[in-house]
Structure 1
């Protein structure tokens, strides 16, 4: 079974379009228009055009594209803020809110025309965001799944809690986990394909593959194709196979 995957997006609409172009080229070479494309989450924050990213995804899905979009921790924070001005993600330090400049929420709101969000009271910003962010965008965020599972692969934003059955995984881990997952070398049965933790280049660790190559910080966005358990990064000149370390 063939699937495609795209790492963290972070408001980088141009890079997302480029990733889809590389996928389109691979589709043409394989004569395959039906393989799903899994977006690994973090649609928003840090980059300049979260609004454009969500609109592109909504339009593509609405037109029948075989796209699946997973929820990342930044998507959860954006959703939480839209639902209540006092939202505090339980995995953030109490003094660190979504409007802190380090998290990139101000760039997300700016893409909707809400300026200087980190310099005003959160309630004032929230009031303005209610009129600026389309209801369809909030509903989209609310409906994002946390995982996509095939016979061979677990697609998830951050990772899974090792040793816990998939039906008992919790959202906090699926969108935030690092400790306890990144340093665990045991087989998870299926190969885990994830983002969330930035690596210089897409990397195969044997039991997992990390596709977050730092688009949120101006670095490249990775698109990959997975056939069985074989993973290939899609580059301008075609496929490059990712090989595990052993």
Structure 2
């Protein structure tokens, strides 16, 4: 199935004023469906299964403008981070996709640029990511900084680096706001800081603040998808639970897709 220019679609759907003209109370524009996938963390097997499940869903329930939003944390902890990045960089999906920045991509990008501590990255499960690129984490710790950066440049392809640099901090579609971690209560969504969009936790999770849009996020693991009046959390800890979750948004309807491997 062909969907035309994905960049034009994303630009139109990112318009904060986009609504269903026939149903002004709808959460999404007419003919639009969004699949928002939670934290993957190196589970390429679960990503493959979810891509297939979304393709089946689009085929069984045709829609004019489907879009898949990935909410960040593609790497670390799970065993196949490089494969996950490779598929995302190739946009090998049944719909156009938007990839958002997770805190794990944030730190990995800094490590690649030489501006973050390798030990901090390893403490967040980055050892699994390095191994997926054929690198030995312990050997990397013993290297001089210049040698470490050379090893990273030789193992992490330019296309993967470009992918990491191109991930977005947020996306607005209709009356939904997509980001990795959440948003700072009391701050307009278009003024949120990078730090909060990628890293915030308790100040957001414990707040009932009305942001004017529903925040769709991951970052904080939950056993089952969590729906609150102001937010939807779809991080079901895929790397450990073996369950990857996506929320499917259409009009005023919400449903969930899950894959288990």
**Are 2:113 and 1:83 aligned?**
yes
**1:167 match: secondary structure:** helix
Moved over 6 A (4+): none
Higher helix share: 2
Q: What does 1:90-129 correspond to in 2, within 5 Å?
A: 97-100=120-123, 103-117=124-138, 120-121=141-142, 123=145, 124-129=147-152
Q: What is the TM-score when the length of structure 2 is the normalising length? A: 0.81
Q: 1:69 aligns with which of 78, 96, 99?
A: 99
Q: What does 1:11-50 correspond to in 2, within 5 Å?
A: 11-32=42-63, 34-50=65-81
- Which residue pairs with 1:239 in the alignment? none
Runs (5+) with no aligned partner, structure 1: 90-95, 237-246
- Which residue pairs with 2:34 in the alignment? 3
Counterpart CA distance in 2 for 1:117 and 1:51 is 19
**2:54 match: secondary structure:** helix
Kept after mapping to 1: 8 A contact 2:243/2:258: no
**1:28 match: secondary structure:** helix
Kept after mapping to 1: 8 A contact 2:71/2:100: yes
Kept after mapping to 2: 8 A contact 1:117/1:125: no
- The two structures, once aligned, show a CA RMSD in angstroms of 2.1
- The 1:155/1:27 distance shift into structure 2, 3 A limit, reads same
